[in-house]
Structure 1
Amino acid sequence: MRRQWSVLGMSAALLAAGCTADGETAAPSGEGWTVLVYSIADTDLEPFLLDDLAEFAEVGSTENLQIAAMVDRAADYSADPFLGLDDWVGAKYLSIGQGEATELADLGDVDTGDPAALADFIAQGVADHPAENYALVVSDHGASWPGVGGDEGSGHSILTLDELRGGIADGLAEAGVDRLDLLGFDACLMATYETASTMAPLADRLIASQELEPGHGWDYRAFSVLADDPATDVDTLGTAIVDGFAAQAAEEGTGADITLSMIDLHAMADVDAAVADFSAALSGRAAAVAPVVGRERAQVLSFGRDPDPEVDTHMADLGLLAAEIGVGALDVSDQADALIRAIDDAVVHDVAGPAARGASGLSIYFPPTADLLSPDYASVASSRAWGEFLTSYYAAGSEIPAEQQPAFVTADGEAEYFFDDYGLNVQAAFDAAAADNVTWAGISYGEVGEDGSVTFFGEEQAEVSADGSGTVLGSFDLTVMSISDGVDSSYAYLTLAYDDDAEVATIDVPLAYYAPGESEEYRDVTLTITFDPETGDVVNETYYSATEAGTYGELTADPDGIIVPKLLVVSADGTQSWEPATDVGLFADLPNLQYDFEQLGSGTELYTQLTVEDFGGNTDSVSVVVAVP
């Protein structure tokens, strides 16, 4: 790729950028803005990314706004022409004009997960389009600290944070540009502390989302502020992008779950120092503060959730987490307050839908237990201080004495239960010696199989009494979720996230998607449904998928593919697995799938279980089998 770029663009680059007497590249001169778009469209997001570039063409290059894109297209997801160019497979280097695109070079098969490809695009884009200000947008699937991309034509290759930093830095150095004015990730989950800290030397501002992004992504018509006034500063541009994203999400019906942050990367040095101090304070008091930390981690706003912990991204809102820990553990409150102030100073402008109410603008990786921690996290340069805290937190959890671990105490080994107008209520108490260590309690429900296994249909949070008695109360409304394609239907597992003060509640449903012709390989999918808890009305629904590369994005499904809900099965020996809910599956015509909540019939034998967990991941459960009245 680097050789191809140099052959195609060497003369243009030398003429545009010039060379100093000692051979070093001189910074190109120009006015206005150049926007470079690194469009990793060799994925199932190809139709969405082409729509984004078409939005850019509604603005188009002008005298003082130049838009250049490297667009790597896939073979399977779209055969549509694009802005006057016939369909292609592989990468093209384009100039985006007003309602049209001009091919500057056909690059052939490009691995967009190679940082050299990114570096060459930046260097060539700057050389060909000199300006006073530069923005770079990287667009595709995202995964928070693991990186972005998933180039299907190159073995699902991604750009890690380290590779992103190296590729961007090399491209800017070759172009003779000190730093970008704006760096944007139009991708899921990239507004993280790890990302912002890593990218801090490369740009003045970063724009990214804490949450999974709907497929439509940003509204690129927001860049019209640059065409209207080439002297527009970066904060005005960034504000237009953030607000434009929110406005488009409202129009598309996806606004309930969104987040988007503009971050002042010059302020990240203070955030780095505050994270280091907060992490050190927590590490130094790990045994004492771990119960508070664990409780707040279990409750804090999180992103990229899935009922299956192996699919969940384990990203927690950093500002909210620090705020709650600071209230619950006063001996680290000074460090927590300093971190909150640093985040507030760094996040210049942001939006959040009602399901992400209060989001601080930056998240951080925090798996609840050590077995869920990815070993790759240690390779992220910005993770050192936080990683040391995680190590101390998990160590404290492993040292909880057996007598202080959760253990239900019931006279006959079963929970108590009663029915009321809401449904079923299940109650039991655990040994009060574990009360200080317990972080979470839940109620789950399902049916018992002939082999003694239990197939669960869902899980909701239960209430732990605040009086220290260890009493746990869980409630279930006696309805089970089903999904239908109009021909077949299937039960589906759900987890319910609900805050009494929130405007909306969220249901997450684990699914598997099989592409047409596939019977073995599938993609993990999470259906997220946001609804009004007062009326039950659905606010929005989105199917998000995990790629083979471990990145995330909205699912592009072939209607002839198959969607299969997954149910949690616990065997008689306690082994857990996620199993298909049906042997038939449902056609993946996503807009036409129907959801319902079926009332369990009178006499249905229902298995219900209360579970409590401490910050070390130790759990205990108590169950009861009841007949629905």
Structure 2
Amino acid sequence: MRRRWSVLGVAACVLVAAGCTSEPEEAATEEAATERAAEGEGWTVLVYSIADTDLEPYLLADLAEFAEVGSNENLQVAAMVDRAEDYSSDPMLGIDDWVGAKYVSIGQGSAEELEELGDVDTGDPAPLAEFIAQGIADHPAEKYALVISNHGAAWPGVGGDEGSDHSVLSLEELRGGISDGLEQAGLDKLDLLGFDACLMATYETASMMAPLADRMIASQELEPGHGWDYRAFQVAADDPAVDVDTLGKSIIDGFAAQAQAQGTGADITLSMVDLNRMGDVDAAVADFSDALSERAADVAPVVGRERAEVLSFGRDPDPTVDTHMADLGLLAAQIGVDALDVSDQADALIRAINDAVPYKVAGPAAQGASGLSIYFPPTEDLLNADYASVESAQAWGGFLSSYFEAGSAIPEDRKPSFETADGEVESYFDDYGLNLEAVFDAAAEDNVVWSSISYGEVGEDGSVTFFGEEQAEVSDDGSGTVLGSYDLTAMTISDGVDTSYAYLTVTWGDEDAGSATIDVPLAYYAPGEDEEYRDVTLTIAFDPESGDVLNETYYANTEAGTYGELTTDPEGIIVPKLLVVAPDGTESWEPATDVGLFADLPNLQYGFEPLESGTPLYAQLTVTDFGGNSDSVSTEVVVP
């Protein structure tokens, strides 16, 4: 932002260019900057709106919400808005459509353009730093908030600027850009740092951002496209003395109320993190990680079982698309119950998280969420090598290495192996549907962390096309008996013209939550695209008692590796993906139909159709240990 220099002092530029800045002069400049930052009363909110993505329409709506509050003597709102070329041609608060970035002030019902910035790479920390410094210089206040709005990816960062080769701000770049901007403005830290983006309420993020702000607000789960309700900032407009906790609670309550009104409230999360308490969380994570690492061979089976069932976020049936983010507080709590030799460290971590998360909200499908998640891929082959470079992940990364080493050291005679002859499995039908039962070698029982029943059909070439997987039950009597049940229905999606089968996994929530979740893998082809597609997950929260759908949202994995609600052209094509296992065991996700469905998302219809009598059915029972080793038994039956 070129204009920054005219505000922060031409004289300083001249002195630096001449190479003659003295220490007293530098100190005077810093002191003057500090005085400028401290001027004014009330709040200044800076919005870094990375709208050069498919979320542009949603982000414009967010700014319109802000304009319903508008700036006044208590609240000043400034935004850097980087717009895309293709997703919206709507004006923004009286400013005609544009491509590139503008620096604007948000008034009541309107916006004033302060500077035309042109092509800006919002994934570069320098423009973020310049915006912060400029915004503070132009809008002095007593308290400052920064909101970064767009796609999120948890520890890999935030953004995905499509006009700059899908550039993303990593956690290190976020910290550097914010820190540089605050230093230029003469401000020690922000009062509030917010991420209106998916998945950013992670331990890794909070630990890295801790020096930069007093509070952080972010979501553990994928966020619906409407994001926050910025009318919640009315409390700051009404009262210049409102404190950060009151403002934070208003933001979280506003988000929950808007989600409820728009039918997206079943699986939302949003938490406020006291970053001043992250030092205690860091210490507790390090102690917990070290304790787990030291006892990895003994506790790995317990850890694996709890990881397989703990509340997780950004799920997808395709493990290469799944984000592998687990709720840290719930994970520690469950491990501490079953692994008593690390229970002290687990309890200390739970207390630290509870102290650091003073306020949060979670829908029924995310009930019990602690407010912070952490990266935990179930097997080493799914580990992203870039995680090792995340500064805040060193202790936890060390534990992950120990966990994976323990998994690779499982002896052959303690890996899962079914005892049934020739891979046979007992099968029978009852009023519920099909049941499969088999017994695996008891020597592997302690290491088994997951069991499932999957179902599909056999092709002429011997390959199996699966259209669903659900958790099976392992008996707790030590017999190694596994029972899986399937209700003999198949999920379908229809656009009113064509209908396609769809693959699903079912996640059963807390018994008291009254909600369960179906995740469906899809591909979205934009109009004119025949080969390039975006991975999409359809998440449906439903009431397991009544079967009523509570909400449904399509989330897309962007080319940048970040996540957000899918925006489609109704003329585009949605194609469900099915899991195909070749005769040699090779797995791939293939289109369920050659035709596809029109991507008019609000009008797509879902059904669960009973399989017709006489339908040939392939069913498989699988058990997996914490090292990723598995064994399966299967049968072919005919639906009665």
Which of these residues, 39, 48, 54, is aligned with residue 38 of structure 1? 48
Q: How does 1:293-312 map to 2 (within 5 A)?
A: 293-312=303-322
Please say if residues 17 and 26 of structure 1, whose CA atoms lie closer than 8 Å, have aligned partners that are also in contact.
no
1:484 and 2:479 equivalent? no
Q: How does 1:220-259 map to 2 (within 5 A)?
A: 220-259=230-269
CA distance in 1, matches of 2:562, 2:449: 29
Q: Distance in 1 between matches of 2:11 and 2:326?
A: 45
Secondary structure of 1:395's counterpart equals helix
3-state secondary structure, aligned to 1:440:
strand
The reply to whether residue 544 of structure 1 matches residue 540 of structure 2 is no
Partner of residue 128, structure 1: 138
Question: What SS does structure 2 have at the residue aligned with 1:569?
Answer: strand
**Equivalent of 2:33, from 19, 26, 37?**
26
Aligned residue number for residue 579 of structure 1: 590
* Other-structure match for 1:163: 173
Counterpart for residue 20 of structure 2: none
Match of 1:450 among 460, 465, 468: 460
Q: Aligned equivalents of 1:502 and 1:125: distance in 2?
A: 43
- 17-26 vs 305-314, which moves further: 17-26
Q: Aligned to 1:279, what secondary structure does the other structure show?
A: helix
Q: For each residue in 1:521-572, what CA deviation from the matched residue of structure 2 results, as whole angstroms up to 9, or x when unmatched?
A: 1000000001111111100000000000000000001100000000000000
The corresponding residue for 1:554 is 565
- Paired position in structure 2 for 1:614: 625
For residue 7 of structure 2, what is the aligned residue in structure 1?
A: 12
How many residue pairs get aligned? The number is 624
| TM-aligned CA deviation for residue 264 of structure 1 | 0.2
Among 523, 535, 542, the alignment partner of 2:546 is 535
Please identify, of 242-251 and 404-413, the stretch whose mean Cα deviation from structure 2 is larger.
404-413
After superposition, residues 329-344 of structure 1 pair within 5 angstroms as 329-344=339-354
Unmatched tracts of structure 2, length 5 or more? 14-24
- Provide the C-alpha distance between the structure 2 equivalents of 1:574 and 1:502, rounded to a whole number of angstroms: 38
Aligned ranges 1:468-507 → 2 under 5 Å? 468-499=478-509, 500-507=511-518
Distance 2:560 2:171 in 1: 14
Distance 1:429 1:367 in 2: 28
For the pair 1:509 / 2:520, whether they are aligned, the reply is yes
Structure 1 position 15, deviation (Å):
9.2
Matched with 2:372 is 362
Maintained 8 Å contact 1:16/1:130 = no
Q: Offset at 1:412?
A: 4.3
How far 1:206 moved relative to its partner?
0.2
Alpha-carbon distance in 1 for matches of 2:282, 2:344: 16
Letter in 1 for 2:29: G
User: Structure 1-normalised TM-score?
Assistant: 0.98
User: CA-atom RMSD, angstroms?
Assistant: 1.3
Matches within 5 A, 1:77-476: 77-476=87-486
CA distance in 2, matches of 1:250, 1:22: 52
1:420-468 CA deviation, whole Å, 9 max, x = no partner? 1110011001000000000000000000000000000000000000011
Q: Write out per-residue CA displacement over residues 279-314 of structure 1, whole angstroms, 9 at most, x where no aligned residue.
A: 000000000000000000000000000000000000
Hey, what's the Cα distance between the residues in 1 that align with 2:4 and 2:341?
Answer: 59
Question: How far is 1:10 from its partner?
Answer: 2.2
TM-score, length of structure 2 as denominator length: 0.96
What letter corresponds to residue 180 of structure 2 in structure 1? D
Q: How many angstroms apart in 2 are the aligned matches of 1:49 and 1:198?
A: 26
Structure 2 letter corresponding to 1:58: E
Quote the offset at 1:414 in angstroms: 1.0
2:4 & 2:146 partners in 1: Cα distance?
19
CA drift of 1:348 comes to 1.0
Partners of 2:199 and 2:43 in 1: CA distance: 27
Q: 1:76 aligns with which of 81, 86, 97?
A: 86
Kindly state the Cα deviation for residue 17 of structure 1 after the two structures are TM-superposed. Answer: 12
Residue equivalent to 2:77? 67
1:413, CA displacement in angstroms? 2.3
Q: Does the aligned pair in 1 maintain the 2:4–2:133 contact within 8 Å?
A: no
Return the letter of the residue paired with 1:627.
V
**Secondary structure, aligned partner of 1:397:** helix
1:597 aligns with 2:608: yes
Partner of 2:67: 57
The one-letter amino acid of 1:545's match is: A
Tell me whether 284-293 or 500-509 shows the greater mean CA deviation. Answer: 500-509
Q: What amino acid does structure 1 have at the position aligned with 2:515?
A: V
Give the Cα–Cα distance (whole angstroms) in 2 for the partners of residues 92 and 327 of structure 1: 53
Aligned residues of 1:17 and 1:127 also touching (Cα < 8 A): no
Deviation at 1:193, TM superposition (A): 0.1
Pairwise CA distance, 1:22: 3.9
1:424–1:491 CA distance, 2 compared to 1 (3 A)? same
Opposite residue 300 of structure 1, the aligned amino acid is: V
Residue identity matched to 1:516: P
**Paired residue type of 2:622:** T
Q: Which string of whole-angstrom CA distances, capped at 9 and with x for unpartnered residues, describes residues 191-215 of structure 1? A: 0000000000000000000000000
Which shows bigger deviation, 494-503 or 445-454? 494-503
Q: Percent identity?
A: 79
3-state SS of paired residue (1:26): helix
One-letter amino acid of the counterpart of residue 26, structure 1: A
CA distance in 1, matches of 2:492, 2:280: 49
Shift of 1:408: 0.5
- The 3-state SS of whatever aligns with 1:435 is helix
Q: Distance in 2 between matches of 1:273 and 1:376?
A: 23
Whole-angstrom distance in 1 between the partners of 2:189 and 2:4: 22
Is the Cα–Cα contact under 8 Å of residues 467 and 502 in structure 2 kept in the other structure?
Answer: yes
Q: Secondary structure of the residue that 1:603 maps to in structure 2? A: coil
Which residue identity lines up with residue 290 of structure 2 in the other structure?
A: A
Q: Distance in 2 between matches of 1:434 and 1:523?
A: 39
**SS of the counterpart of 2:446?**
coil
Quote the Cα distance in structure 2 between the aligned partners of 1:233 and 1:16. Answer: 36
Which one of the candidate residues 558, 561, 568 is aligned to 2:579? 568
Q: CA deviation at 1:21?
A: 5.9
Does structure 2 retain, via aligned residues, the 8 Å contact 1:16–1:127? no
Q: CA deviation at 1:501?
A: 3.9
| 8 Å Cα contact 2:456-2:619 kept in structure 1 | yes
Aligned letter for 2:578? L
In the alignment, the residues of structure 2 paired with residue 12 and residue 384 of structure 1 have an alpha-carbon distance, to the nearest angstrom, of: 40
Deviations, residues 337-365 of structure 1 (Å, cap 9, x unaligned): 00000000000100000000000000000
**Residue number in structure 1 paired with 2:16:** none
Shift of 1:485: 0.4
